[in-house]
Structure 1
Amino acid sequence: MRLTFQRSLLAHRQLLWRLVEREVAGRYRGSMLGWAWSFLTPLLMLAVYTFVFSQVFQARWGDLQQAGPLGFAINMFAGLIVFNLFAECTGQAPNLILANSNYVTKVIFPLDLLSVVNVASACFHALTSLVVLALFQLLAQGRVPLTMLWLPLVWLPLIGGCLAINWILSALGVYLRDIGQAVGVALSMLMFLSAVFYPLSSLPERWQPILSLNPLVIIIEQTRRVAVSGLMPSPLYLLLGTILALAACELSYRGFQKARRGFADVI
């Protein structure tokens, strides 16, 4: 049985594809390096974070002590890819409808697609970062774990969660204009509470269960498990995470459709 939001996406799949293509291509249109920025940006981020945390702060990753700074860089960058995907989607969500207010008056335009385009664009940039990560692993360690092929399933809860949050925040952003500022502050705090720069196991035991309540921590740990450590993902995570993400998408989509009835009056 197909969910309501799935039927909408399938019905508008051609329009969705064109919107995603336009969004991705439009970001680099007119720049001298063009598409090269999608690879250059994560590469520069990797270099800077590696230098600062491994050389300035002398940070090491617990289970990769023998790899030194390279082991730290690989683990940190894997977590950073996940967080950046989430942050890019969530940071833009409150202004999605406001920035495309001309679509609100066009009744036939499916406004719910704006959130899907936002998430799909962020996924594209996350994939380019994954390519950089894989090349870095190949150069530093001489191998790329085959378990990285599990990443599409590992990221299903992440993508579903991002989509659900986009529908919620984009609808709320129309009625509560301050929510964009609140989201920006929350993302800055969340970056340091999501085990991006450290493994969850490095925290005192009393704090580990608390931080484990953050879904991003679980997703980042599972990403490192398959993309860095070469281990299989947790079957329980894949099952529960996917079910919860689908349920969240369905509920948030229905809420968005109800909220959109008042968009024209507010805008």
Structure 2
Amino acid sequence: MHILKAPAALLAPFRLLAVHSALVAELTRREVNGRYRGANLGLFWSLVSPFLFLGIYAIAFGTVMGGRWPEAQASGTPFSIVLFAGMIPYFVLSECMTRSPELVVGNPAYVKRVVFPLELLPWPMLFSILFHSAMNVLVFLAMRLAMEGQMAWTVVYLPFVIIPIAILGLGVSWFLASISVYFRDVRQVVGLASMSLLFLSSVMVPMAAVPERYRMIFMLNPVSFIAEQARAILIWGQAPDWMGLLGYTMVALAFMYAGYAWFMATKRGFADVL
């Protein structure tokens, strides 16, 4: 009996997605459109905002960090391109972290509807984040063609690099969506944690430039490995580290199932708190 229950438990998060696919599609559409609702440019902001955000970081860190990136120096690749490639996967995890605390707290009407599956809420959020990540990739490719006149064919491997960190982000979303119901200060901590993941990772600085005594911190950062793989396929034209991605995916899946189990175990108390 327990053997039969194990596969069902492993499929539960994905079966939920399949059963409510129409609802997920509608909620995803609302998430994507709602982000820029009322703005004159509408969805065009999904293409404009990456340029603006990247410009700030490139100006702030380009002159300091650009000369310390050996591959960029050797190939003449602009620092903004190197930075942007590493930021693409970071945005996926960062957005999951910063938006998930509001998933349940921001939708009290859903909590009071017994028939509404609250555990479904991270899925449309994740899909909307992936949509905006796809826009970031289009901006990156356009920038590289404009600045360097080239594009690595290994960009086709990008989904295999993004999926593992998206799975991790899904697990983080279930954890934070639940915890923030009981501890509202989580929203304040998450912003700081998100920035820490950025500045203590290889997104901003090459691993070789990190002092030996601090390198382990950067290596344990879940963004570092994925950022390096993104650069490998988007800029340097290299195939990803398949074994490394497989190991990362296994850990991410374990975290995702833990987050889902935690959410399911705690959601029964949401209505009492909200």
Return the alpha-carbon distance in structure 2 between the equivalents of residues 88 and 25 of structure 1: 16
Q: Corresponding residue for 1:82?
A: 89
Alignment of 1:107-186 (within 5 A): 107-186=114-193
Identity %, equivalent residues: 38
Instruction: From 13, 20, 26, give the equivalent of 1:18.
Output: 26
Deviation at 1:10, TM superposition (A): 0.9
Alignment of 1:248-259 (within 5 A): 248-259=255-266
Q: Which runs of 5+ in 2 are unaligned?
A: 1-6
Structure ranking higher in helix proportion: 2
Please say if residues 3 and 250 of structure 1, whose CA atoms lie closer than 8 Å, have aligned partners that are also in contact.
Answer: no
Deviation at 1:208, TM superposition (A): 2.4
Instruction: From 33, 58, 68, give the equivalent of 2:41.
Output: 33
Deviation at 1:154, TM superposition (A): 0.9
The one-letter code sitting in structure 2 at the alignment partner of 1:83 is Y
Please say if residues 85 and 123 of structure 1, whose CA atoms lie closer than 8 Å, have aligned partners that are also in contact.
Answer: yes
Alignment of 1:35-50 (within 5 A): 35-50=43-58
Return the alpha-carbon distance in structure 2 between the equivalents of residues 50 and 95 of structure 1: 30
Deviation at 1:209, TM superposition (A): 3.0
Please say if residues 5 and 249 of structure 1, whose CA atoms lie closer than 8 Å, have aligned partners that are also in contact.
Answer: no
- Greater than 6 Å deviation, 4+ residue runs: none
Deviation at 1:207, TM superposition (A): 2.9
Return the alpha-carbon distance in structure 2 between the equivalents of residues 106 and 261 of structure 1: 12
TM-score under structure 2 length normalisation: 0.91
The one-letter code sitting in structure 2 at the alignment partner of 1:210 is I
Q: Which runs of 5+ in 1 are unaligned?
A: none
TM-score under structure 1 length normalisation: 0.93
Please say if residues 88 and 122 of structure 1, whose CA atoms lie closer than 8 Å, have aligned partners that are also in contact.
Answer: yes
Deviation at 1:44, TM superposition (A): 1.7
Q: Which moved more, 1:76-85 or 1:198-207?
A: 198-207
Deviation at 1:247, TM superposition (A): 2.2
Q: Which moved more, 1:234-243 or 1:157-166?
A: 234-243
Q: Corresponding residue for 1:202?
A: 209
Q: Which moved more, 1:189-198 or 1:15-24?
A: 189-198
